Structure 1
Amino acid sequence: MPKNLKSEADQKYHFSEQAIHYLGKPLESLTEKEMRIFKRLVDRQTIARNVNVAFDDKLTIGQRLADKVAKFGGSWTFIFIFAVLLASWVGFNSLAVIRAFDPYPYIFLNLILSMLAAVQAPVIMMSQNRQAAKDRMDAGHDYEINLKAEIEILALHDKLDKVISTELSALIEKQQQQIDLLSKLVLGQKP
């Protein structure tokens, strides 16, 4: 914030001008997110933070369990264990010398598989919904960082343009002095 802005009204006017210049909107019409970014920009605060930690801290025990079940249910370990269990079940009940506890057509196995699917599908959906929410949070955070970076780059361009303009004016003035001096020397006048 410029040091020459003493009053609150001056500061508000300056911020409003900056908002119009960099965001294309007056200060009053900024969204809550844009206002937060603009305030952090003015206060020279960083926006970057680890949103994964904030998101994971809010998870309940059930949500953590759902994520673990979904992670295990979507792994090669699960597929191999499940294939071995199915083959063992079918093999034992097909080759049983005494009485098989679930003979062909494996009705009890069908019941267990149906119950597993009925429980596993909603758990996986809950995990996917949470992942989608986490992705939205990441995207929002990325937007904030990108917007702040874009505004800071625009401000740097403005500062560079101002420095270049000042330097160019000083250079032109010096060049004019040298031209005047050379003109006097050529005409034989004393400088």
Structure 2
Amino acid sequence: MIEPRHGMGATLRQNIEDLTTRQREDTERAPLSDKVADRITRFTGSMTFVVLHLVLFGAWISVNLGVIPGVPRFDPTFVALAMIASVEAIFLSTFVLISQNRMAATADRRADLDLHVSLLTEHELTKLAGLVERIADKLDIRSDDPAFAEIHANVEPVQVLDALDQSRKEKGID
């Protein structure tokens, strides 16, 4: 059993552990190509990568400008350097896109989970409001709050999406 720490209950801590375990399992099950793309993207997004390029390109440029005496120029027009940099940019952008696509898919899954949990919560709260109203009726307690009537209506997600789409169209968004 998980003990509550830092003001979090056992259920919340268990949920965190379950989701962390699931994320680790998903990462382990990812295809080799995704793992390679993620590692490359992680490295190319680091300061080590920047420093490495500063050193390599700086040395290349220095040699080919003739700044370093005794070292022969091998690319005085920098055509080879430009080609290497272009090819590298093509591959790096592809690796970044692969990683972004995977991250977008993960974000979509999380958004779906969030939507389903929210809809379930809303449904449960609607049922609970009905139960509370029946208890209030039994005890002869009346509520004059007109907003209370809204609590009894289940939210229809498709209608909400349609209303959001219509609102975005009216505001010129999308």
TM-score range, shorter chain: 0.5 to 0.7
Q: Does 1:127 align with 2:99?
A: yes
Supply the distance in 2 between the matched residues of 1:91 and 1:156 (Cα, whole angstroms). 74
Q: Residues 9-24 of structure 1: matches in 2 within 5 Å?
A: none
- In the comparison of the two structures, how many residue pairs are matched? 123
Q: Residues 1-191 of structure 1: matches in 2 within 5 Å?
A: 50=19, 52-53=23-24, 55-94=26-65, 95-168=67-140
The one-letter amino acid of 2:131's match is K
CA deviation map 1:140-171 (0-9, x unaligned): 011111111111111111111111111127xx
2:64–2:74 contact (8 Å) kept in structure 1: yes
Structure 1 gaps, min length 5: 1-46, 170-191
Normalised TM-score (structure 2): 0.61
- After superposition, the Cα gap between the structure-2 partners of 1:137 and 1:55, relative to the gap in structure 1 and judged at 3 Å, is farther
Structure number with greater CO (CA < 8 Å, separation at least 6) is: 1
| Cα RMSD for the two superposed structures | 2.4
- Structure with max Cα Rg: 1
Structure 2 gaps, min length 5: 1-14, 142-174
The one-letter amino acid of 1:65's match is V
Normalised TM-score (structure 1): 0.56
Hey, which bits of structure 1, 4+ residues long, moved more than 4 A? Answer: none
Deviation of 1:134 after TM superposition, in Å, equals 0.9
- After superposition, the Cα gap between the structure-2 partners of 1:53 and 1:161, relative to the gap in structure 1 and judged at 3 Å, is farther
The one-letter amino acid of 2:31's match is T
